[in-house]
Amino acid sequence: MSGSEITRLLGGWEGYRIGTVQRFEAGEKGLQAEVWIELLPLKRRRMRCSGCGRLVSKVHDIEERWIRDLPLLDTATWLLVWRRRVRCPDCGAKLEELPWVGRYSRVTKRLAESIGRLCEVASIKHVASFFGMSWWAVKAVDKQYLAEKLGPADVSNVSAIAMDEFAIQKGHRYATVIVEPYIKRVLWVGRGRSRESIRPFFELLGPEGCQAIKAVAMDMNGAYEAEVRAWCPDAAIVYDLFHVVMKYGREVIDPVRRAEAKRAEGDRQACKVIKGSRWLLLRNKRNIESQDDRIRLYDLLEANRNLMKVYVLKEDMKQLWDFRYPKAAKRFWKDWYRRAMQSGIEPLRRFAKRLKPYVPGIVAHCRHRLHTSLLEGINNKIKVIKRMAYGFRDDAYFFLKIRAAFPGIPR
């Protein structure tokens, strides 16, 4: 078998031939066995400039470079590559462009790809241990691999977006994730949840991209809404059911339940039942499968009129997101608002007044069937990514991992 055939089978190092090969057992040069392969450049008349891609024939100089490759036969493989710098008429002295290694990379492209694939399912520490590399080297390779694989975010042909926040660190430190809901693709991630924090995304969209946005799904974050109104004045704001119901539970059900428990302090059994009913009152009715829980809920609501009112109005409020016609949704809202104001329950009346300015965004769901439940699932996946890495200190790397986890459904 010729040397060129061996090169093709073992490495495929295009433009080079194998010179000397040495093997060192574990302990001779390091903790693991190593193979050193010298690669000598083939004599060819035309080489490609890595700066402009132009074919040139003159060599400026040759320098040696050690490059790590995929293990051969379970042995760490190092390549001693004699790299040429070409003399380009346009760029000057530039490295020769090679298809199997980057311009300044110290690992081959296939090793970088293998590290990137393993980092999708394992921590950097485990990948570094597997290849016998340092933590910092693996992290740098994976970050570069993701940046080249993903490239700049493609925000063309985007007609709808959904945005939500997620906790990035302890101490109420948040980041914002923006997705294209129809194909489930993360478009952009940035630290913070203020107007200034999300402004770079709209600058990335540009005037034409902002004009193409027809609807934006979000929670009732005033900063998000103000920035969307400033950049996309014609876009419909769509408020999500999940966040409204969560707010209802926090501002209505919890205060009413605590007040009723305090009022029933003379009856220890009744007080205990009310105090232990928080999650039962917050859960969706159709998700209560246990017969015992159904009986508990029925007995609780039958015995307490105020809890019955807030529970029934909670279930009725969710029907606002089932309507397909805006006029019907508005009529239903007016009826719900009237009942809330006539309930005599102050937390409920206060919540209804606060919700009233957001009704157009709720009714907009009739025309734009958007929600942020997809984002809640993405947020859970983000927690897994963060937990698997035991946290991230590099925001850019963390955000690349998030984008890579949600590339979207192919169009």
Q: What is the pLDDT of residue 116?
A: 94
Segment 196-222 shows an average pLDDT of: 92
Q: What is the pLDDT of residue 44?
A: 74
Same domain? 362 vs 292: yes
Q: What is the pLDDT of residue 111?
A: 94
Same domain? 321 vs 284: yes
- The range of the structural domain enclosing residue 392 comes to 160-235+377-405
Segment 72-91 shows an average pLDDT of: 89
118 part of a folded domain: yes
Same domain? 278 vs 323: yes
Q: What is the pLDDT of residue 219?
A: 87
Q: What is the pLDDT of residue 304?
A: 81
How many separate domains does the chain show?
Answer: 4
pLDDT digits (tens, 9 = 90+) for 253-298: 888 888 887 877 766 666 667 777 777 777 777 777 777 777 777 7
If you count them, how many residues does the chain have? 411
307 part of a folded domain: yes
Same domain? 7 vs 118: no
Same domain? 252 vs 362: yes
Beta bridge partners of 179: 162, 186
Lowest-confidence pick of 102-111, 150-159, 185-194, 278-287: 278-287
**Residue 189: Cβ-neighbour burial (10 angstroms; 0-12, 13-18, 19+):** buried
pLDDT band at 142; cut points 50, 70, 90:
very high
Q: What is the pLDDT of residue 402?
A: 93
pLDDT digits (tens, 9 = 90+) for 359-387: 999 999 999 988 777 888 888 888 888 88
Same domain? 216 vs 252: no
Q: What is the pLDDT of residue 270?
A: 66
Q: Do 224 and 163 contact (CB within 8 A), yes or no?
A: yes
Q: What is the pLDDT of residue 240?
A: 86
Q: What is the pLDDT of residue 126?
A: 93
Same domain? 23 vs 40: yes
Mean pLDDT across the chain: 87
Higher pLDDT, 283 or 106: 106
Same domain? 211 vs 286: no
13 part of a folded domain: yes
Scored b (16 or more CB within 10 A) or e, 312-325 reads ebbeebeebbebee
Q: Interhelix angle for 241-248 vs 305-317, to 10°?
A: 170
410 part of a folded domain: no
Q: What is the pLDDT of residue 228?
A: 94
372 part of a folded domain: no
CA distance 22 to 145: 30
Same domain? 292 vs 336: yes
Whether residue 3 is predicted with pLDDT greater than 60 in this model: the reply is: no
CA distance 395 to 168: 9
Higher pLDDT, 327 or 32: 327
> Could you say which of 84, 102, 120 is where a domain stops?
102
Same domain? 146 vs 165: no
Same domain? 249 vs 355: yes
